[in-house]
Structure 1
Amino acid sequence: MLTYALTCCSTADLTPSWLDGIGVRYVFFNYELDGIPCKDDFGKTHAPKELYARMLKGATVKTSQVSIGEYMEFWAPLLEAGQDVLHVTLSSGISGTYGSACAARDALRRVFPERRLIVIDSLCASSGYGLLVDRMAQLRSAGMGLDDLASWATIHRLEVQHWFFSSDLSFFVRGGRISKVAGVVGGMLKICPVMNVEADGTLAVKEKIRTKAKAERRVVALMHQLARDGDDYAGKVFICNADCLDDARAVSDMIEAQFPKLDGPVHHFDVGATIGCHTGPGTVALFFWGASRT
């Protein structure tokens, strides 16, 4: 019997069935589409294709983190039921949700002084965050206790490698991550920037690759270079995409052919609304266990 709850946010970009299957509870992030409040609920409110189509037609989008009150409402029933809680948040490098979670934790500790509530900053994003949570769920199921699992996550979170590229730079320009001039030139030259998540949890452009096919091959080459045990990598691989499944499958086909010891096939997920509102369509992200990002 599990003695504590493991929880995360919907920005882990897995699926409800996956999270339910590994016994992880989740709370929804928020976004607005043309001023209408929505929940980042794994595409239930707006399927990715619909969301990106509306963005391409000029719809305004705005994201917001889980509020202190939402965290408190989410955790209170678990604490009332006598469970301790270990929560993992989206990276503090791209969201303020870690701060909100900590404020909610402090408030609830005064209400439930006999319970434990620990908040961990994943320093991960999207399905890389999901890969960390998935491994934590496995360790909890194997009997790892609350404090040991919190310590494990803090030690190993930077070993989740995040490598992604985008064939559509327009929303990176809108969000200020790429300058307007660089976006125009990049589009003309078919530049696909290869990006990652840094040790501090922020996003960074690492390389500028000309043509999508070369970007696909480059992220696979980076996996050869950085994956735990190199070509003998035996862990899970997660890939998510923003309405470009064919591009994601091109990457996963190469990985499955070149890494014969994988723990099962590559698992595909959608980029959720929170991340997708900033990337727009055309982004493919690859996640695996490897060298620390420090």
Structure 2
Amino acid sequence: MQERKVILSADSTCDLGDELKARYDVNFYPFHILLEEQDYQDNVDITTKEIFAAYYDRKVLPRTSAINMGEYVEYFSPWVEAGFDVIHLNLGGAISSAHKNCLLAAKELGGHVYPIDSRSLSTGIALQVIEAGELIRAGKSAPEIAECLREIIPCCHASFILDTLDFMRAGGRCSSVVAFGANLLNLKPCIEVDNSDGSMHVGKKYRGSLEKVLPLYVRDKLAQYPDIKRDHLFITYSTIDPGLEKLVRKTIRETMEFKEIHATHASCTIASHCGPNTLGILFETETPAK
């Protein structure tokens, strides 16, 4: 029996960037951004700059909404009916209902959709998308790809430096006292994603300007693991001064050599929770030998 061809897809929160999206023929499904009674599609008809302007100009913070089961069914159905299998990577199940909804849609469609809980966010998901794209090119079937992805998920590392806790405070994710103290002391916390379950926690707290903090953060993260995979590294940010992106890229190159360093913008879903001037580096470690 001939293998079914595989479609590669992901939630819009993977922040892959246009060049890699085209390289691996990736399809995106956008999350919902609810702002001032309007329902927008993430990175389709609203931008991070508009979200930040709404908060600073009018003190309005958007709500984000995951893709529901019915939307996923409608999205996947044409491919399934045309005889394709679909690999779809979701925003981590610990922070969104998207994966649960995607599983329900896959069941409805009879098993030709393979939802993957990335246990990550942003370009932590993009690293997995690239791996899936390479496996499709190698002629692997959807079940084989899904199995391989579940093995590499614990090797994808995501973290970010926050410049301000204002958006976390406004969204109820930290108290006003904590936010005030961090701003007063000029603290820049590192938010880390736990790739065992996709939850997030506060790691090291840096102190000082971003010009001082970002190189320290980069060197700390690249020194944390002995077996970093050198194929791809992402610099992902909500908004950032171009000079700071250049500084981060320079620090990476001085510390470790990668085949490709990609700079991408965080989706509105991600940026609305972390605020402006958030930046992270995201990379993989080698998969342990069996």
Provide the TM-score with structure 2 as the length reference. Answer: 0.90
Aligned to 2:222: 224
Deviation at 1:139, TM superposition (A): 1.8
- What is the distance in 2 between the residues matched to 1:16 and 1:81? 26
Correspondence 1:209 to 2:209:
no
- What is the distance in 1 between the residues matched to 2:286 and 2:223? 9
Aligned to 1:161: 157
Query: Closer, same or farther in 2 for the Cα pair 1:139/1:6, shift >3 Å?
Result: same
Correspondence 1:248 to 2:245:
yes
Task: Describe the superposition over 1:81-129 as per-residue Cα deviations: whole angstroms up to 9, x where unpaired.
Answer: 11011211110111010110011111121xxxxx622111010101111
Deviation at 1:151, TM superposition (A): 0.7
SS of corresponding position for 2:174: coil
Deviation at 1:228, TM superposition (A): 5.6
SS of corresponding position for 1:151: helix
Question: Is the contact between residue 228 and residue 291 of structure 1 (CA under 8 Å) also seen in structure 2?
Answer: no
Deviation at 1:255, TM superposition (A): 0.2
SS of corresponding position for 2:158: strand
Aligned to 1:176: 172
Task: Describe the superposition over 1:155-197 as per-residue Cα deviations: whole angstroms up to 9, x where unpaired.
Answer: 1112111121111110011223322111101101110001110
Aligned to 2:120: 124
- What is the distance in 1 between the residues matched to 2:112 and 2:249? 40
Deviation at 1:17, TM superposition (A): 4.5
Deviation at 1:35, TM superposition (A): 1.5
Query: Closer, same or farther in 2 for the Cα pair 1:39/1:174, shift >3 Å?
Result: same
- What is the distance in 2 between the residues matched to 1:137 and 1:228? 26
Amino acid at match of 2:262: H
In structure 1, list runs of 5 or more residues that go unmatched: 110-114
Aligned to 2:70: 69
Question: Is the contact between residue 194 and residue 205 of structure 1 (CA under 8 Å) also seen in structure 2?
Answer: yes
Aligned to 1:112: none
In structure 2, list runs of 5 or more residues that go unmatched: none
Amino acid at match of 1:72: V
- What is the distance in 1 between the residues matched to 2:12 and 2:165? 25
Aligned to 1:270: 265
Deviation at 1:59, TM superposition (A): 2.2
Q: Percent identity?
A: 26
Task: Describe the superposition over 1:227-258 as per-residue Cα deviations: whole angstroms up to 9, x where unpaired.
Answer: 4635xx52211111111143333222210222
Deviation at 1:291, TM superposition (A): 6.9
In the comparison of the two structures, how many residue pairs are matched? 281
Amino acid at match of 1:93: A
Aligned to 1:21: 23
Amino acid at match of 1:166: L
Match of 2:281 among 281, 286, 289: 286
SS of corresponding position for 2:74: helix
Aligned to 1:101: 102
Deviation at 1:52, TM superposition (A): 1.5
SS of corresponding position for 2:164: coil
Deviation at 1:268, TM superposition (A): 0.7
- What is the distance in 2 between the residues matched to 1:216 and 1:134? 26
- What is the distance in 2 between the residues matched to 1:234 and 1:128? 15
